[in-house]
Amino acid sequence: SDEYIFDKLKEMTGGRGPDSCIDAVGLEAHGTSPDAILDRVKAAAFLATDRPHALRQAINACRKGGTVSIPGVYGGFLDKFPLGAAFNKGLTLKMGQTHMHKYMRPLLGRIEKGEIDPSFIITHRMMLDDAPHGYEIFKHKQDNCIKIVLKP
C-alpha cells in the first residue's frame, strides 16, 4: 500500500524522505489506492488520458527541496497533479524524453567488454511463445518478476 511505502521510505531516510524520486513508469502506472482506481475509472469513461499514480507517489514521498525526475512517458493530460505539494516542498521537477540513442552504443560496448553486467535485473527467461504469460506475471508482479528475456 502507499502508506507502507511512505512509512518505509521515511524510516530509511531518518524521517525526511528520499533526496530524489524517479517516475520511470509514466502513464502505464497501475496502483490499488482509491486515487489509482479513480484514475482507471476516468480513463475508461474517456475523462482522463493519463494515470499519474506513480508521479503522485514520487512527489508525496520526496523530501523538501528534493528532485523528482520523470523519464516515464505521459501522452496527454494529467488529472489531480499535486502541483501545490510540489510547490510547497520546493521540489525540482526534471522531465523529458530519454535520449537513449546517445547512450545505447557506448553502453552496449561496455556490456560486450564485460565492464557492465546487466544480468542481475533478469528474473525470468522464457520462449517468445510464452510472452503473453510473461506479460501477465510482470503486470501483476507475480513470482518476484522484474525483467523477462524472451527467446525466439
Answer whether residue 147 shows pLDDT above 60.
yes
Answer whether residue 145 shows pLDDT above 60.
yes
Instruction: Determine contact, residues 21/69, Cβ cutoff 8 Å.
Output: yes
Give me the pLDDT at residue 1, please. Answer: 63
The better pLDDT of the pair 67, 1 is held by: 67
Domain with CATH 3.40.50.720 in the chain: 2-95
Q: Which fold has domain 2-95?
A: Rossmann fold (3.40.50)
pLDDT digits (tens, 9 = 90+) for 36-82: 666 666 666 655 555 677 888 899 999 999 999 988 777 666 667 88
pLDDT digits (tens, 9 = 90+) for 79-138: 678 899 999 999 999 988 777 788 889 999 999 999 999 999 999 999 999 999 999 999
pTM: 0.58
Q: Which residues of 21-57 are buried (b: 16+ CB within 10 A; e: fewer)?
A: bbbebbbebebeeebbebbeebbeeeebebbbbbbbb
CA contacts within 13 A on the Cβ side of 3: 2
